[in-house]
Amino acid sequence: MKLWKAALIPAGVCALTYLTVHGRKDQPGWEKFAHVRFAHRGLHGPGAPENSLAAFRRAAEAGYGAELDVHLTADGYLAVIHDSDLARMCGVEGRVEDLTALELGKLRLAGSGEPIPFLEQVLPLFEGRGPLVVELKTAGGNHAALCARTLECLDRFRADYCIESFDPRCLLWLRQNRPEALRGQLTQDFLLHGDAQPLRNRLTLTAMLCNGLTRPDFVACRYQDRGMLPLRLWRLWGGRTALWTIHTPGELKETERLGALPIFENFDPKEVRHDEE
């Protein structure tokens, strides 16, 4: 009986490891993303706030890809903004998901003249240019509607893209409904970041245990958490990775040394001198 119980421990470890690394390696299209640098929320700076059309235009014209965030509005439009809460970027109370596109269109980003863009306005900027990393921001159980609307919009344009989300339900929807789309699981050490969530959820998301069900094509991890064991196992298995958010030339160099897609912010890699790397 004691030997039987002892055998459960390595069996359990093997099972959990299998779930963590159970991704997909053979989906075509990843070659479009290799060796591309991605501007986090666009190439933003003075006069071009994050997730603004000006920031995305700068990124596209500079030859970069871009990462962007998508929310579903109350009337079914796709707003490109990071926070659901509008206070930080627009200085008003309210949530993106509770407002219509018309109401959001009256707001401006970070005191500039730039409005909150919609996905259908951003995509034409990247047709025939760098690819996009589209992050799905779920709220209130709207994951299925958000996924469906986003893919409908993406289908109308000729921009290359992959899709990522912290919410495994989005990846499961993609696996079941749009298996040809490259999908990625966003992760971090939720034991350090994410105190608002129950411990069970933080453990599950940190260990990436939903991978066994969602079969992601890549994992996008917080740069500071790149050494956590689940990601090491994923990389050892040969899984594709992206790292966010890269803030210095040194972090960029390390990310590319690891063979991960870099999602950078607050500097332009083309303006970096060799002695700064």
Question: Does the pLDDT at position 277 exceed 90?
Answer: no
Write down the catalytic residue from 22, 44, 71, 82. 82
137 with 93: CB under 8 angstroms?
Answer: no
Give residue-wise pLDDT tens across range 161-207.
999 999 999 999 999 999 999 999 999 999 998 778 899 999 999 99
Write down the catalytic residue from 22, 40, 44, 71. 40
pLDDT score recorded for residue 112: 96
In the residue annotation, 71 being an active-site residue is answered as: no
How far is residue 206's CA from residue 121's CA, in Å, rounded to a whole number?
Answer: 34
pLDDT score recorded for residue 7: 46
**Residues of the chain above pLDDT 70, percent:** 92
Buried b or exposed e, range 49-69, using 16+ CB within 10 angstroms: bbbbbbbbbbbbebebbbbbb
Give residue-wise pLDDT tens across range 33-44.
999 999 999 999
Domains of the chain: 29-268 (3.20.20.190)
Mean pLDDT of 38-63: 97
In the residue annotation, 82 being an active-site residue is answered as: yes
CB atoms within 10 A of CB 131: 20
Buried b or exposed e, range 190-217, using 16+ CB within 10 angstroms: beeeeeeeeeeebebbbbbbbbeebbbb
pLDDT score recorded for residue 8: 44
